[in-house]
A and B are shown apart, each in its own frame.
Chain A
């Protein structure tokens, strides 16, 4: 049943991850992840490249099946794609052969098509409704993708590093946009990002994944809207960033066969 008013609050879902594990062949990418998300919470998942954060998101999305463990949405275990879940990918994934408005109304019942224009206005692109996606900038395309996700009134919004390809200024504007829309609609949000600053700016809780395990689950007790210049913000950001960078990657354990290991102790986050 689709609500006809875009300003109504469908609320968020409760997520329970219990011992979620994912293996690709012999490689264990996610090991017994344990996480509980309350309805309407905004969770940011950070970690190095390859730590398993995108895998976790794809498992929650239902795009892939877990090798072991349970995933419950609102207490119900239903493997596969979930009707109230929408995903924003790293690239906008707009259909290039449809105009912007037709992209936003993708998958909508014909009766609900009118809401497309309203949601486009909420992301600030009402005047570009008749454009072809090829003529939009990267930031504008991601905004259209956001509108497309939101027009379905999702109760769970999954964001897989959606702002990685955007410039810094556009990213800050998108933060404000996403936060504003989340505060109005109160869906549950899971944001995967490599940018710790973005995580601290947006999330209620920051979760760090290291080698497939959840290594940190910290509540951000700052008031919204959060200011980047705020000393408390900077302190939290620094602490989490230090924690992300501190442990060496398992693959980089010093090899005794090679005595020439650099003494500067650089460790790579990518």
Chain B
């Protein structure tokens, strides 16, 4: 068999896409930096623009204070409340209620979800009952709740806990059930005991579902908190807002609304941070 000569082809080097190759006519570094900054700033143009327009409209008297106070007034009201310590007190109380409701409802939902997901007899016994109760909207229970618990803290805790319970229960249950059976089989062949299987394979496998349930529950927490505090309250952001409404202090009403929004956003940021930490092995969460 004759030796075939493989000649090396002459290849002109082509710069790979994305490499910074300086060529005449290229925009300078400063210009490119400016373009990047513009990209970051553009999304803020509309919201800032709206706030500016709003302030102008209020200052010119087109927008009555009773309807919608100027942004500067809202900021001033917030500042006054912060300085007097009132703001912090109310925020602390509201956040405390939300966390307590989350802990009770979420903890119960997690425990029952783990139970019915892991043990067949528990599922047979409990799941259909829980599904039936789930169909009762929590808000429809309000009259009953008032009758049972009155209008103090227990009532609020109950409302929040009840609405938080179901998403966490459902997602935990499904998380446990949907763990890859191939992984469990593999674990068995490696001599893992039942408890080791549970801790090393089933629980981590269910974690992403549980976190979905948590994020959903966090959103519900704030809604139910607002409702619970609106029914009646002696303290908390809801009380602040309702009180201000009585006295036509619309700027404080807006402060209350913004506080709810801020707290909700913080909770979501926290949940996402949890996800990014606990699920950093997941291909969907990796920077690629």
Contacts and interface: CB of A to CB of B under 8 A. Distances in A.
Interface of A: 61, 63, 81, 83, 85-87, 89, 91, 93, 95-99, 106-107, 132-135, 148, 152
A252 B188 CA distance: 38
A132 B286 contact: yes
Contact of A86 (B189, B192, B282, B286): B189
B285 to A, nearest CB: 10
Q: Which 7 A-B pairs have the closest CB atoms?
A: A107-B190, A134-B283, A93-B186, A132-B281, A97-B204, A97-B281, A87-B189
Given A81-B189, A132-B286, A96 B182 contact: no
B185 interface: yes
Contacts of A83: 191
25 contacts: A61-B189, A63-B189, A81-B188, A83-B191, A86-B190, A87-B189, A89-B186, A91-B182, A93-B182, A93-B186, A96-B281, A96-B282, A97-B205, A97-B207, A97-B281, A98-B281, A106-B187, A106-B192, A107-B187, A107-B190, A107-B192, A107-B196, A134-B281, A134-B282, A134-B283
A107 B191 contact: yes
Contact of A95 (B183, B196, B283, B286): B183
B131 interface: no
Interface residues of B, number: 21
A61 B188 CA distance: 11
Given A63-B185, A89-B186, A134-B286, A95 B200 contact: yes
B201 interface: yes
Contacts, number: 53
Interface in B270-288: 280-283, 286
Contacts of A135: 283, 286
A136 to B, nearest CB: 11
B188 to A, nearest CB: 7
Nearest to B288: A135
Candidate in B201, B205, B281, B282 with the most chain A CB atoms within 10 angstroms: B281
Candidate in B186, B188, B207 with the most chain A CB atoms within 10 angstroms: B186
Contacts of A61: 189
Nearest to A132: B281
A85 B189 contact: yes
Given A132-B286, A134-B281, A134-B286, A81 B183 contact: no
Given A87-B186, A107-B187, 13 more contacts: A63-B188, A81-B188, A81-B189, A83-B191, A93-B182, A93-B183, A96-B282, A107-B196, A132-B280, A132-B281, A133-B281, A134-B283, A135-B283
